[in-house]
Structure 1
Amino acid sequence: MTIAPKLLKMAQLMKRPFFASTVLRHRVAATVEHLEAISFCAPATLIDVGANKGQFSTAVRGLLPEAVIHAFEPLPVAADRFASVFRGDPLVHLHRFAIGAENGTSTFFVADREDSSSLLKPGKGQQDAYGVSAKEQIKVEVRPLGSVIDLTALPSPVLLKIDVQGTELDVLKGIESLDPFDFIYVELSFVVLYEGQCLFEEVRAHLAGRGFSLRGVFNQSVTSAFGPTQADCLFVRDDDR
């Protein structure tokens, strides 16, 4: 992010007391670039898979003070920061493990840019596009989403947000039914950045087969190495339950 966008983002953060307080007290900046998508979905429940320090959950909380939030973050340092941001908020539930297709323990690659950490090893594409590489490895617990919370008991509408750096299909395949979700908002890549990762078209096809259509694309990242590289994609359930 260049200086001008950084200044614009800081100005947006300072306009809202909750966002400003979170920056000043916890050094966690709400992802204001997602506010349009969040406002469109207006979720009563957020499932934040790949919550990191709480940037997206903070954006949701700033717009929707009564939303229930279930957040999943396996990286201990990031999860600790998330916990400090939302300490005392009874509607926020932090789960300190990764979400995948099956129960187990897996290697987690901690990147030199923390929010690029993943269950997959950063590849040459990630280095070429963003200058990011793995700095260490840790072991983390992995669970399917439906084994952790009762998805049928969540206040609707429900927004499933996924930001897991290449293992999006594993997250989705670990959910027996997508019926509880009204919206799925997921960061997807158009080129390979991590070893063995899935790409945009694979996830789009998977979701189409399970009753979700692509509604919009936000925050496209264009790099000198690849051109269009990543984007945040909003999928909406096809029916009108």
Structure 2
Amino acid sequence: MPTEAPVLFPLAGKAVKLARVLAAPSYARALLRTRTAAAVEHEALLRRLAPATVIDVGANKGQFALAARRALPDATLHAFEVLPGPLATLRRNFDGDASFTAHALALSDAAGEATFHVASREDSSSLLGVGAAQEAVFDVREASAIRVPTARLDALGLVEACVAPILLKLDVQGAELQVLRGAETVLDRLSHIYAECSYVELYQGQALFPEVRAWLEARDFVFRSAFNTHHDPKLGPVQADMLFQRAPA
């Protein structure tokens, strides 16, 4: 059975991050009530980008969404999470927040159903099978597989109804290009895309960062910077959060 990821932080900066979580009432509440550690490392960037709407794809328990809410108290948040356990925790973390909506869907490039690969750490689950490098670097392996509902973002009518500027955040464990292909007709409504991308194949058949970057650049997005890079002693850079900006018209 999958196990819930423990509330642990990277060794580098662990104490500082924990102190930041405990110092913010909303973060401390989520940590104590639901064992959800807010992704405080994204706060500064979110404030700088200042989107009116955040679409959080692969929201898990709301780690990123908690940071978005604290950084952007007036923003509208839409979160997509398909695993029942994390989805229930996500909704609990935002209970009473009228500007937050959770969607029980896996976004992809086709509507219907798909196999979802549940990992030994639920926040590493994916539409793609867990690869050998994921196990070697993060000690994560596939625990089970379930069928889940899928949808294209550009078929939901959601983006068209959102207030601009809109930030699309992707943390979908190797399925970034599938989600982007399923959003192709609404990309021009987005101001920024913030996607966790890999330099090495952590999931079977995933598109690596150069392919994701080329796809977005062909559609008028400019790569701005990489954040929160994870390094492996043997493999070097493994993955990072990549920021893309819509090119001026």
Bucket of the pairwise TM-score, normalised by the shorter protein = over 0.9
CA contact (8 A) 1:102 1:142 kept: yes
Structure 1 runs (4+) deviating above 6 angstroms are none
Distance 1:57 1:129, change over 3 A: same
Q: How has the CA–CA distance of structure 1 residues 121 and 91 changed in structure 2, closer, same or farther, with 3 Å as cutoff?
A: same
How far the C-alpha of 1:225 sits from its partner, in A, is 3.6
- 1:65: which partner in 2? 73
Alignment of 1:122-137 (within 5 A): 122-137=130-145
Please give the TM-score of this superposition, normalised by the length of structure 1: 0.96
- 1:220 is matched with which residue? 229
Give the match for residue 6 of structure 2.
none
Q: CA deviation at 1:218?
A: 0.2
Q: Which amino acid aligns with 1:130?
A: F
Q: Distance in 1 between matches of 2:187 and 2:62?
A: 24
Structure 2 CA distance, aligned partners of 1:3 and 1:234?
24
Q: How many residues align?
A: 240
Aligned partners of 2:57 and 2:171 also within 8 Å: yes
Identity within the alignment, %: 45
Q: Secondary structure at the match of 1:138?
A: strand
Q: Secondary structure, in 3 states, of the residue corresponding to 2:149?
A: strand
Aligned residue type for 1:188: C
1:26 aligns with 2:39: no
Name the structure 2 match of 1:189. 198
Matched position secondary structure for 1:137: strand
Structure 1 contact 216–233 (Cα < 8 Å) conserved: yes
**What's 1:41 paired with?**
49
Q: Tell me the equivalent position of 2:59.
A: 51
Q: Secondary structure at the match of 2:189?
A: coil
Q: Report matched runs for 1:166-205 at 5 Å.
A: 166-175=174-183, 176-205=185-214
How large is the Cα RMSD of the aligned pairs? Answer: 1.2
> Cα offset for 1:2?
4.4
Report the 3-state secondary structure (helix = DSSP H, G, I; strand = E; otherwise coil) of the residue aligned with 2:239: strand
Distance 2:178 2:130 in 1: 17
Secondary structure in 2 matching 1:47: strand
SS in 1 for 2:188: coil
The residue type paired with residue 35 of structure 1 is: E
Aligned position for 1:234: 243
Distance 1:235 1:167, change over 3 A: same
State the Cα deviation string for residues 92-151 of structure 1 (Å, max 9, x = none): 111111000010111111111111100101011111111110111111001001222431
CA 1:3–1:81 in structure 2 vs 1: closer, same or farther (change >3 Å)? same
1:90-101 equivalences in 2 (<5 Å): 90-101=98-109
User: Any conservation in 2 of the 1:129–1:224 contact (CA below 8 Å)?
Assistant: no
Q: Is the 8 A contact 1:46 1:68 kept in 2?
A: yes
What is the TM-score of this pair, normalised by structure 2? 0.93
Cα distance in 2 for partners of 1:159, 1:20 equals: 25
1:223 aligned partner, one-letter code: D
Alignment equivalent of 1:103, drawn from 98, 105, 111: 111
Q: Helix, strand or coil: the match of 1:29? A: coil
> What is the one-letter code of the residue matched to 1:45?
T
Match of 2:20, SS state, is helix
Structure 2 portions without partners, runs of 5+: 1-8
| Structure 1: gaps of 5 or more residues | none
> Residue 3 of structure 1: CA displacement?
4.2
